[in-house]
């Protein structure tokens, strides 16, 4: 049995040789699929990192905008008080 696997697995008519060849083909296909899935996983991980970075930047920008809006509201309130006091005198 070992001799026919080693000498002529592609042309052997024995069932064990055909099964071995089929298993080797399946193994090769699975290895190729695994490699593709690992590449996809790496691509998705990189995309996730980019999306997370963009989300953090957007959050920081939103916080800056909220701070600026609060400062502008305070400035407006101070100007309204000054205008009201100006009209009172």
Q: Is 12 exposed, middle or buried (0-12, 13-18, 19+ CB in 10 A)?
A: middle
Q: How far apart are CA 88 and CA 81, in angstroms?
A: 10
- pLDDT of 17 reads 75
How many alpha carbons fall within 13 Å on the CB side of residue 75? Answer: 6
Q: What is the mean pLDDT of the chain?
A: 88
- pLDDT of 41 reads 98
Torsion of CA 6, 11, 16, 18, to 10 degrees: 130
**Tens-digit pLDDT profile for residues 38-74:** 999 999 999 999 999 999 999 999 999 999 999 999 9
What length is written for the chain? 89
């Amino acid at each position: 049995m070992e001799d026919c696997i080693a000498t002529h697995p592609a042309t052997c008519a024995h069932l064990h040789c055909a099964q071995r060849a089929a298993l080797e083909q399946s193994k090769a296909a699975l290895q190729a699929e695994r490699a593709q899935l690992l590449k996809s996983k790496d691509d998705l991980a990189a995309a996730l990192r980019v999306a997370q970075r963009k989300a953090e930047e957007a959050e920081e920008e939103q916080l800056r905008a909220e701070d600026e809006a609060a400062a502008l509201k305070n400035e407006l309130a101070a100007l309204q008080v000054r205008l009201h006091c100006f009209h009172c005198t």
